[in-house]
Amino acid sequence: MIEFDLADEAATHALGAALAKLLRAGDFVALYGGLGAGKTTLSRGIVRTLLGPEVEVPSPTYTLVQTYETAGFTLWHFDLYRIESVDALVELGWQETAGGVALVEWPERAGGALPAWRLDVRLGEDGTGRKAGLEPHGEDWHKRLHGFAF
Ligand SMILES: Nc1ncnc2c1ncn2[C@@H]1O[C@H](COP(=O)(O)OP(=O)(O)OP(=O)(O)O)[C@@H](O)[C@H]1O
Ligand SMILES: [Mg+2]
């Protein structure tokens, strides 16, 4: 696991911006961390780096999913906190994400529907700031994260 200290919201956003540059069609990023850990902030950094700093990136707390069209792929931003069951993922377009990029808050709610090949990001509180851990699953993610810094 690669760990970083995120002193403030801007640092969480910047980690997202750096991760955005690694993303390719087919990627799955699981964003772990409790309420308020910074999952949406990190997602906002990713989306704004791909689409522009003016883009609105609302939390998908109630819609459960927001989609964005980027130059190379469709980006799906899920928040599964309020999902009723794993079966409900299908209605959200879960299967269609395979050709795009999925960012998933509360990924533990997806149970066995989580792909094995993925990047896990673990966010947690650390004083007034946050800490982040990047955990690659699969050879390709290991290679891509080699030497990662931001
Ligand atoms: N590194 C940081 N240090 C301090 N505050 C931060 C940091 N990163 C994000 N925050 C703040 O934490 C709050 C919650 O952030 P955010 O909405 O991204 O959390 P979340 O993990 O998506 O929460 P939820 O589980 O409710 O969706 C926001 O006010 C945000 O500005
Ligand atoms: Mg959130």
Q: With pLDDT > 90 as the criterion, what percentage of the chain qualifies?
A: 99
Distance 28 CA to ligand 2 centre (A): 17
The bridge status of strand 74-79 relative to strand 101-105 is parallel
Rounded CA-CA distance 133/128 in Å is 17
Q: What CA–CA distance (Å, rounded) separates 149 from 44?
A: 19
Indicate the fold that domain 2-145 takes in CATH.
Rossmann fold (3.40.50)
Q: Per residue in 45-54, pLDDT tens?
A: 999 999 999 9
Tell me: the pLDDT tens digits for 116-142? 999 999 999 999 999 999 999 999 999
What pLDDT shows up at residue 21?
A: 96
Q: How confident is the model at residue 106 (pLDDT cuts 50, 70, 90)?
A: very high
| Ligand nearest to the CA of residue 129, numbered in listed order | 1
Average pLDDT (6-31) is 98
